[in-house]
Amino acid sequence: MRTRTRMSRRLAALAAVAALGTGLLAGCADDGASPAAEGSTAGGGGGGAKTTLTVGVFGAFGLKEAGLYDAYMKLHPDIEIKQTSIERNENYYPQLLTHLGSGSGLADIQAVEVSNIAEVTATQSGKLEDLSKAPGVNKDDFLPWKWAEGTAKDSKTVGLGTDTGPTGICYRKDLFAKAGLPTDRDAVGKLWAGDWNKYLEVGRQYKAKVPSGSAFVDSASGVLNSITGSSATRYYDAAGKVVYKDNPAVKQAWDTASAFATGGLTAKLQQFQPTWDQGFANASFATVSCPAWMLGYIQDKAGAAGKDQWDVAAAPKPSNWGGSFLTVPSAGKHTAEAAKLAAWLTAPAQQAVLFAKRGSFPSAKAAYGLPAVADAKHAYFGNAPIGQIFARAAEGTPVQTLGPKDQIIQQNLSDIGMLQVEQKGKSPQQGWDAAVKAIDNALDQ
């Protein structure tokens, strides 16, 4: 199994967003202070010694880059914020667990990636502050499923969501036109609305009319992950038992994705590899499942030739890929001040700024009515109203049961099982068996 996690892939995509600059999003906040500055007052400010708050993150997390730390320190002259970052989450997260175990070496605020939050809430909640009680935190501001992900079984909310990954379908209008398919994003969304099998059927229609050299979708693995991301129950049940082998939702997702592979509807590419990047540049495929943060990546890889050719429509069902949380370790030096900072950083106004400047879609639904989100359009994608499209996807995503080893199960289903079907010509059953064997080995079952 490759060690590069989906979070690493997401970080690569976010880096592309940053490289392309803030001009990707129209109708967004300017480069000044955060909207939250209105009506806020500085805390303390008496000219005494400053309190230094440390924030531990992985990769280019975005809070610092979006200017949020500077905005908070301007509002609170008695606070200084220092951030430390470890590039890859697979290196960051084990260290976080070690520090939580020892109660030392922790930052005042520690970020947690969505693939790790279930393990954190299940095994580490006793070592983290209950942020539902932090000043300024309002549960109703957040998406219900995002709040649930950061909440332990004892109802203690240890993680406040910074962002999320609502997913649409990005598609090439020029290739759709050649296949005799509609190109208007609303009409395209209606082609497969409510059913991933309709997406499969559109792929068959596409293949029947478009000459060889262009596939309908980039990869069967991408389809598999998008379908499972739209199911309330995937790999674990509510009791914490691994159930993916017998879960009808996972089996249906596997069968549908396999039909893309065996039906010759995919470009047989592995996502976030050089050949996949080249596929964007060469218009090798017509559609790809794309979370909000992937838009900058597509723009970067497809280049100027793809401008106004790519567009984005609603996915068959609302789905999520990505997102992170902020936690406050109880062993930290300044838990009360850290909780206030975590609450401020994840408040709707700040999440809107993070979206405007970094492309990270808010997990606070209260941000969706703010101009930086509601009016956001993407010039490269035909001025698609991305704020509205992804807000609908985020609000429609089900409350999903997460498990501590979701990442291992998902990655092996994709990179071991589905790739064998798609690239090596194995049968869907052979691919499934190979994935199950790898997962059993990884989980010591």
47 falls in which pLDDT band (50, 70, 90)? low
Instruction: Answer with the residue of higher pLDDT: 389 or 3.
Output: 389
The string of pLDDT tens digits covering residues 165-195 is 999 999 999 999 999 999 999 999 999 999 9
The string of pLDDT tens digits covering residues 104-149 is 999 999 999 998 999 999 999 999 999 999 999 999 999 999 999 9
Residue 5, pLDDT score: 43
Closest of 320, 339, 341 to residue 330, by C-alpha = 339
Residue 212, pLDDT score: 79
3-state secondary structure of 390: helix
- Is the pLDDT confidence value at 35 over 70? no
Contacting residues for 144 by C-beta, under 8 A, at least 6 apart: 399
Q: Where are the domains of the chain?
A: 6-165+322-396, 166-320+403-442
Q: Which DSSP string corresponds to 244-282?
A: TTT-HHHHHHHHHHHHHHHTT-B----TTSHHHHHHHHT
Instruction: Answer with the residue of higher pLDDT: 12 or 149.
Output: 149
Q: Give the C-alpha separation, 350 to 364, whole Å.
A: 10
Residue 399, pLDDT score: 87
- Is the pLDDT confidence value at 3 over 50? no
Cβ atoms 64, 83 nearer than 8 A: yes
Strands 160-172 and 377-378: unpaired
The string of pLDDT tens digits covering residues 72-112 is 999 999 999 999 999 989 899 999 999 999 999 999 999 99
444 falls in which pLDDT band (50, 70, 90)? confident
**CATH architecture for residues 166-320+403-442:** 3-Layer(aba) Sandwich (3.40)
323 falls in which pLDDT band (50, 70, 90)? very high
Largest CA distance in the chain: 73
The string of pLDDT tens digits covering residues 266-303 is 999 999 899 999 999 999 999 999 999 999 999 999 99
Q: Give the C-alpha separation, 239 to 237, whole Å.
A: 5
Residue 213, pLDDT score: 84
Q: In the chain, what percentage of residues exceed pLDDT 90?
A: 82
17 falls in which pLDDT band (50, 70, 90)? low
407 falls in which pLDDT band (50, 70, 90)? confident
Closest of 109, 177, 117 to residue 336, by C-alpha = 109
In this structure, of 42-46, 262-266, 390-394, the range with the lowest mean pLDDT score is 42-46
Backbone dihedral angles phi then psi of residue 216, each to the nearest 5 degrees: -75, -40
- Is the pLDDT confidence value at 62 over 60? yes
Q: Work out the average pLDDT over 353-362.
A: 93
Q: Work out the average pLDDT over 352-378.
A: 95
Residue 211, pLDDT score: 78
Residue 10, pLDDT score: 55
Q: Work out the average pLDDT over 9-20.
A: 54
Q: pTM of this prediction? A: 0.86
CATH code of the domain made up of 6-165+322-396: 3.40.190.10
